[in-house]
Structure 1
């Protein structure tokens, strides 16, 4: 009789069950790496990062000339925008909360539904999305950028071996290279697990144990607290159904069933309400919470997660302690100065039109 091989999903479920059943002492707490990855398909260079940084902060390749990557993913704060859902060109808003870019380098898939396998693919999405940057195509965006002399020089410097460096692929490679530098290691938690037992307060240590004992680590595990993505092949993310337990007041109160999750893109019944497990790094800086941004505070988010994911009514003390621990996940942010962008003296590269539809479709 042929042995039945366990599926990846069953293995993950079994691992999750073991984590829930375990205790804080048995859990393998891991620090965030202090250096970002540099993938073979897009090795990081100083010139790429410089170009990518300028592109990240430049709003001129949006349809209205008003929205940059930083508009919705503000690096001067938690790398979101503090809104339930972000506002793109011409005041349009989308259905989902802007996920943070800090530590996105340690995620093997991107977006809430994991539809982009890496940061390069992710960089294309917002540019052509009608509710975000609204350009008709990536080619249009690149054409607008390279109409500026200074950008052509930066592309040539970043991709010196290419006969035609000003391509869509190089555009997104540069943005991704910059985004991979956006990591926040050496949080109080990281210092604690490396041996400095004074880095966390007694309450935070208690919250750390509670976080594991109630079952949070069954999903929010690993160095980035987003599941074992760092050990997975690129594009093979770690997903969880949300909400798992629906017979409670929070599901209706926060409209948690309205979004179909991954199923909205794949059309598969098995993907209904499935989402990539988000990182908890710097989570205190990214309110409001969840895919729809409907929960305003972190203590309430912890209560909701306890009920809809673990079917547990967490006590006030448990919530307070877990929130204290989550505060210890805020890391050290790299110094970021606003870049000086290349200009075309005497002329604009943004089309002048009062018709939103004609601008985005041009």
Structure 2
């Protein structure tokens, strides 16, 4: 029954809105609203196992994989919160600041491509990048990363348990473990999900209005699918879902928020047609991931909605439309799985991070 309700969304919205007169029948409602799956299929070359996920979680939280021993994956993609770091752009080793806003890691398994410019096709490939990135974890090479990992007896034991081969402690296996952990970071069962599965009182009247408005003004032309980010990872490799941003360059918001400064995917491909092309981000848990856009220039969700209306759809959204859409977007905040903090394996009696100068003056 629940699946039938989702497939017949026009009927479902009419039933939910008929008593209050919120909705009227029309082509704007002919849209397949999808609930978020509770799991995602792993690639054939990286099947998910409990031991692999646990190893990946440890690596994800381990700051010793960075040059200074101070920055982990979780530093910029904090899963104790919205999966980002709440900054316009992230701060890495030595206080270096990167050029772009950190996307949320929650539900990243549903992305057709990784990074704002789509330079990685998979979670595995994405996990390799920050380890070496100068403004992020800053390691000189993947070999140096794995030298540190190999020095820890507990990690050697874990890699031997999870992976086959004479020398399983490799960068490819490390990122497979991290990706396996990230594929568990899914937030289903939001009020929106309950609504499209048949629970008609899961959304407020304003959220139902916002759902209708979100579709009518054209937001679903890009933010479609269960994760509201366009087609899913079933797309062929290298064919991620991108859209030009900003589309309408003459908007006052383009200059106000420096939206056209970053050429986007063009930096990767050097193709003229890829200028200002970016992956379409998920809107799941979007109320928790401010500031917004690739440069983190917009601080509030209501302003982000207003900006998107103008620079992408060339619409001046009214205050009521903005408020209703924001209310709907808040219904996309899902159920977060309980994640216990891992106990990281140590290198007994010795430091794993060398080259750091002793602290001066007072302290602990």
Q: Please, what TM-score do these two structures have when normalized by structure 1?
A: 0.90
Aligned to 1:142: 146
In 1, Cα distance between equivalents of 2:226 and 2:149:
37
In 1, Cα distance between equivalents of 2:134 and 2:53:
27
In 2, Cα distance between equivalents of 1:268 and 1:223:
30
Structure 1 position 327 matched with structure 2 position 335: no
| Aligned CA-pair RMSD | 1.2
In 2, Cα distance between equivalents of 1:136 and 1:345:
25
Aligned to 1:162: 165
* 1:18-29 → structure 2 map (5 Å cutoff): 23-29=27-33
In 2, Cα distance between equivalents of 1:216 and 1:330:
18
Structure 1 position 271 matched with structure 2 position 257: no
Alpha-carbon offset, residue 354 of structure 1: 4.4
Alpha-carbon offset, residue 231 of structure 1: 4.1
Aligned to 1:17: none
Structure 1 position 76 matched with structure 2 position 76: no
8 A contact 2:292–2:300 mirrored in 1 = yes
In 2, Cα distance between equivalents of 1:258 and 1:177:
35
Aligned to 1:35: 39
- Which of 217, 228, 249 does residue 214 from structure 1 map onto? 217
Aligned to 2:9: none
SS in 1 for 2:220: helix
Alpha-carbon offset, residue 145 of structure 1: 1.1
* 1:197-236 → structure 2 map (5 Å cutoff): 197-236=200-239
* 1:150-299 → structure 2 map (5 Å cutoff): 150-159=154-163, 161-299=164-302
Structure 1 unaligned residues grouped into runs of 5+: 1-21, 356-362
Query: What do the CA deviations read for 1:211-270 (whole angstroms, capped 9, x no partner)?
Result: 000000000000010011244124321100000001121000000111010001211111
SS in 2 for 1:246: coil
Q: Please, what TM-score do these two structures have when normalized by structure 2?
A: 0.90
Change (3 A) 1:231 1:28: farther
In 2, Cα distance between equivalents of 1:225 and 1:24:
17
Structure 1 position 300 matched with structure 2 position 303: yes
In 2, Cα distance between equivalents of 1:240 and 1:38:
26
Structure 1 position 63 matched with structure 2 position 63: no
Alignment: residue pair count: 333
